[in-house]
Structure 1
Amino acid sequence: MARLRVHAFTLTLDGFAAGTDQRADAPFGDGVDGLHEWMSASFRGEGTGADHAAFLAGSENIGATIIGRNMFGPIRGAWPDESWRGWWGETPPYGHDVFVLTHHPRPSLPMDGGTTFHFLEATPAEVLAQASEAAGGADVRLGGGAATVRAFLAEGLVDEMHLVIAPILAGAGERLFEGLDALPAGYRVEALVPGESGNVHARIVRR
């Protein structure tokens, strides 16, 4: 059975997954400079150690991905047209079906390299069922943003999370665990591993 996994989801030390005023020229908002610095070497093909191993693990046995509307792009509300095709250019890095949760569905968007974006207005359980079918027996990766991950955690649908705690403070923005008071009853911290960039990798699994 397909598992739902969160990988490389990075938080500030005070718990923010994004800063304030997210926009096209600052996708993660203000006040979080350096949030994803830990994976820069891996993107350059120079990664080593615990950081690189964690980076690579996010692609292992993944057959489909679920993301929120805000992770697909900066446009809010109704789509003015279909010209926005994602942050990644014509060849996104996924290479499989990506399900975008949105209150404003639009036609599926095939891209180069095997990625197809599907825009769904659905419950977490409904979109997970579709993604699991598309994954063909592999696992499903749950991307951001924080609100999307919270929605799946609230329904107990997440099997495993790899969180990265970056050594920075934001003070304001979007918290990952806001309102999830029941989280400790369903999940436990299995491991904490220090990374080379001063960050810490946390693996959280179902109880």
Structure 2
Amino acid sequence: MRWPRLHGRGHLTGTMTWSLVVVPILVFPASRGYGTPWEAFFVFLAVVSGALSLVIGHSRPHAHRVAPAPRELLTAAPGLTAAALPFTAPGLAPWALHELAGQPTRARVIEAEPVVDPQEGDTGLTHYRIADAATERDLGRMRFGPRTRVAAGAVITVSVIPDDWLPPVATERLTDAGALATAFTALATVHVLACAATAAAWPRRIRN
């Protein structure tokens, strides 16, 4: 079985469309996938993206060509960085979004349920449900609560994303999130630069 191959302008257009249109769209829903069955789905998409980039990068327009041409190897680069984005988005993107758009909000703890392992007992983790302390609006379950467990009824400060796109997190957790947000921003920047380098280095005239 032979993989279908893209050559010339179609090769470049397909790579750029996947890298600069499809993947950025996937990153947003992937950012909500942390700790859910959807996380595995976005990891699968990342693997598919990486595999496609390698297939395209090693396509051979001419039967006599033994090794892939430099432009084909270059075209594989955006595919590899594109694969890294949905793979890391569930764990890194939420922190970047909270850093960018999070609004500090005073919240009241409605429920505080310790996470207990049947064999090891108390894990030190807690499942929280919170509400806006001023309006009593339900803010849903909190992904990452305070470092020190608090009881129901306590009022804490959390970061809330408008329209409840992501679960809230305790603001004190954001002091540890800077490095994660920076890592994801750096990865996105490398991806864009890889796409720009590929487009700039691609020959103006290509024989299909």
Q: Hey, which of these two has a bigger chunk of helix by percent?
A: 2
Q: Hey, which of these two has a bigger chunk of strand by percent?
A: 1
Same topology, TM > 0.5 = no
What TM-score, normalized to structure 2?
0.23
Larger of the two Rg values belongs to structure: 2
Higher relative contact order (CA 8 A, sep 6+): 1
